[in-house]
Chains A and B, each alone.
Chain A
């Protein structure tokens, strides 16, 4: 999957004047360590899972997700920063998240589960960019895209930076990745 298509779809909110975007990008580049601070991702996951699911997440070492079927949600960033927020989990974790989010029970990855995972990814993306000064107002989000299946990978050519964390709540494991493939 190439992110450029998503990038083109994002940025609905990137209505900032060009000179403002340019100046913001300049300061974002100068503060790359702030933009790529891994704690922002952890805090975003905490916030979304605590408030929406009542679940406390633990950051764990990278773990191979061995479920037969996995689900991936992607929300693109567009504007002064381009890239994507990617959520990935096994099927069982997705069912658990959807159940906690909706109060319903699920036994397979139906449209409601996919919708729930897309919304989780959307909130993670929004929470993450909201934690970076200067990014919130100058970076738009795309509509979530959700993929299910097996043995697929997301490829990005030479990203500016990439944050990839694995978390656990209950017995459910999931990954969240922030990929930045461009600061204008």
Chain B
């Protein structure tokens, strides 16, 4: 698999590092990780760079992950790029909201690197 550019959006710098480490442990190939601490920063990244995968927290201040997702679609950014939401929320209702907002995958915290691989790999292969 050639270079994969991934955008990780999370207000927690620690969680961004943990997600990056899990992606690297998953052995997805050559990763280039771009980080954004807010949904607004994430949108700015997507205006300037192409990525192959977006991983976003949901529960963030100012612009939550679902609004970030809606803005991606509304601004026609990252067309066809899979988005995976990462959150502590895990009820069917929350998953449904994420999918309705345009997410292709959902990872519940806490997670293992293996779980990240299971969720992410099929999306990258399909893309």
Interface residues of A (CB under 8 A from B): 12-13, 15-16, 47-48, 51-52, 98, 101-103, 112, 115-116, 118-119, 122-123, 125-127, 130, 136-137, 141, 143
Contact = CB atoms under 8 A, between A and B. Distances in A.
B94 interface: yes
A123 B88 contact: yes
Contact of A118 (B12, B21, B89): B12
B90 A52 contact: no
B12 A119 contact: yes
A1 to B, nearest CB: 20
Interface string B88-123: 111111100100000000001111100000000000
27 contacts: A12-B64, A13-B89, A13-B94, A15-B97, A16-B93, A47-B110, A51-B110, A52-B18, A52-B110, A98-B14, A101-B18, A102-B14, A102-B17, A103-B21, A112-B14, A115-B12, A118-B12, A123-B110, A126-B88, A126-B89, A126-B108, A127-B88, A127-B110, A130-B90, A136-B94, A137-B91, A143-B61
B109 A123 contact: yes
Given A16-B93, A130-B88, 12 more contacts: A48-B110, A51-B110, A51-B112, A98-B14, A101-B18, A115-B15, A119-B15, A122-B88, A123-B110, A127-B110, A137-B91, A141-B88
